[in-house]
Amino acid sequence: MGDFGLLKENITADDNAKSFCGSPAYLSPEMVQKKGATRASDIYGIGAILYELVTGTLPFYEEDFDKLYHKIENNQVSMPKHVSNECKDLIEVGIMLYPLETDGEGPGEASGGG
């Protein structure tokens, strides 16, 4: 579910959105590091939501924000045994592998290509 009233228009691959509205538990690593949101942040968010839908819990949760941010930045998430390998692969594309392997950049963004 999204609130398109918060939508930012005319954001290009070279722009990072700096504003934040929502739960800190869904922040991507680049947002925690105050680098701004990229396209990868959207993929990360989808992975976090998918994780929650499949497991019934947040991928990262702590009452203390500093501990929460540390877990997000260091990718300290565990996958329950009941999650199928196919679903694990899909979740990993979002919250585990995609933002980290591309340093927060989406496909083609790190190299400047599309």
| Cα separation, 88 vs 47, whole angstroms | 10
Q: Is residue 97 part of a domain?
A: yes
Out of 15-19, 70-74, 103-107, the most confident range is 70-74
* pLDDT for the residue 13: 63
Higher per-residue confidence, 20 vs 112? 20
Q: How far is CA 81 from the centre of its chain?
A: 22
* pLDDT for the residue 107: 43
pLDDT at 6 over 70: no
Q: Are the CB atoms for 29 and 71 separated by under 8 Å?
A: no
CATH code for the domain in which residue 76 is found: 1.10.510.10
pTM of the full predicted structure?
Answer: 0.68
* pLDDT for the residue 26: 84
| Cα separation, 15 vs 39, whole angstroms | 10
Q: 101: helix, coil or strand?
A: helix
In the DSSP assignment, the letter for residue 88 is: H
Count of the separate structural domains present in the chain: 1
Tokens at 36, concatenated: 């701004």
* pLDDT for the residue 104: 45
Q: Is residue 30 part of a domain?
A: yes
Q: Is residue 2 part of a domain?
A: no
Backbone angles phi, psi at 37, to 5 degrees: -85, 135
Domain that residue 33 falls in: 23-101
The 10s digit of each residue's pLDDT in 52-100 is 999 999 888 889 999 999 998 888 778 889 999 998 888 887 776 544 4
75 contact partners, CB below 8 Å, separation of at least 6: 29, 95, 96, 100
